[in-house]
Amino acid sequence: MTIAAFGEVMLRLTVPDHLLLEQTDQLQMSFTGTGVNILASLAHFGQDTRLISAVPANRLGSAAQGALRRIGVGDRFVQQRGDHLGSFFVELGYGNRPESVTYQNRLASAFGTSTVADYPVTAALQDVDVLHICGISLSLTAGTREAAFAFAEAAAKQKTAVCFDFNYRVALNQHNTHEQMRQYYQRMLKSSQVVFGSRRDLTDLMGYPRDTTDEPLFKQFLADYDLRVFAGTKRLQKDGRDFIQGFVCDEAGLHWSEPQELMILDRIGGGDAYAAGIIYGLTQQWQVDRSLTFAVANTALAHAQIGDSPLATLAQVNAFIASSGATGGLIR
């Protein structure tokens, strides 16, 4: 099974030891992005992966590609062009202090300035079973948007399953109107089969009525765009404890996982871990309940590590499920 993703690579700079930026002169460097994270997780489940992206034609770009290979992400279709990589600083939260992310210029990055002409669409999609596209590519620039459309439409034409993640970010859309973004998403959805998002994506971006309950709302969305699956998560808090609950809506109806308690070391990447778990379940043709349990377990483990890219193996996720999450001891 070969799974590809089209999306940006970013440089993450993490402040160590739960310090603030003002308190340190050291940073921990890693490379990330929605596609990177999902493929890294799937690679740890034994899948063949392929990232389609662009990084700078310099030492930083080479380091990024080396980091991708180290976590199992295939980089054959990562182009080197330009001289800039989008980046962000992470200040880890603790107690009552939330985790904080500060972005640097993504629009000028090697990926942000790329166009469909920079990518060998046909070759990149050859023998691909599943293609993942992140909605951020629709927001960055006209070049990334048209490339995303080209990949999605070519994949749909050759019967490759297209997974699309809403990942809508208002801050990235200062030059696009709300109606423009809705039209871009509508076009992408026409090529998609599996979509990750939230109730708010449907009501606030796509214009569905807010007074409709979840199941009829989600099923109407599936019917309108001839989708196979709509999936996502909901965060819960009870007695000061954090929980996450996953859902999958398909033709049979709306399915929810049991709430899973989280012990949060790093919040970033949890949604990507969930998406990877659902995608893996679909490729294995699992029943929905099994996919939900697996995806939520992968999400819990992702929250318990530093860094965006989920690195739990298939054995580790299964051990977490078998022990009902009680795997925090010592493994020798």
pLDDT of residue 326: 73
Cα-to-chain-centroid distance, residue 162? 14
Q: From the DSSP assignment, how many helices (H) and strands (E) are in the chain?
A: 11, 14
Whole-angstrom distance, CA of residue 228 vs CA of residue 248? 10
Integer angstrom CA distances of residue 190 from 29, 153, 163, 185, 228 = 38, 9, 11, 9, 12
138 three-state secondary structure: helix
CB count in 10 Å sphere of residue 45: 24
317 three-state secondary structure: helix
pLDDT of residue 329: 66
E strands, the chain, are 2-6, 10-15, 28-32, 48-55, 77-80, 87-91, 100-103, 130-134, 161-165, 194-196, 229-238, 241-250, 253-256, 260-262
Q: Which of 38, 35, 32 is nearest to 12 (CA)?
A: 32
The answer to whether 69 touches 39, Cβ cutoff 8 Å, is no
Q: What are phi and psi of 150, to 5 degrees?
A: -65, -45
The answer to whether 38 touches 270, Cβ cutoff 8 Å, is no
Whole-angstrom distance, CA of residue 144 vs CA of residue 161? 20
Whole-angstrom distance, CA of residue 280 vs CA of residue 283? 5
Task: Give me the tens of pLDDT residue by residue for the chain, a chain 332 residues long.
Answer: 999 999 999 999 999 999 999 999 999 999 999 999 999 999 999 999 999 999 999 999 999 999 999 999 999 999 999 999 999 999 999 888 999 999 998 999 999 999 999 999 999 999 999 999 999 999 999 999 999 999 999 999 999 999 999 999 877 777 788 899 999 999 999 999 999 999 999 999 999 999 999 999 999 999 999 999 999 999 999 888 999 999 999 999 999 999 999 999 998 999 999 999 999 999 999 999 999 999 999 999 999 999 999 999 999 999 999 998 876 666 66
Whole-angstrom distance, CA of residue 268 vs CA of residue 304? 10
The answer to whether 265 touches 239, Cβ cutoff 8 Å, is no
pLDDT of residue 272: 97
pLDDT of residue 84: 97
pLDDT of residue 328: 65
Contact partners, residue 126, CB within 8 Å, separation at least 6:
none
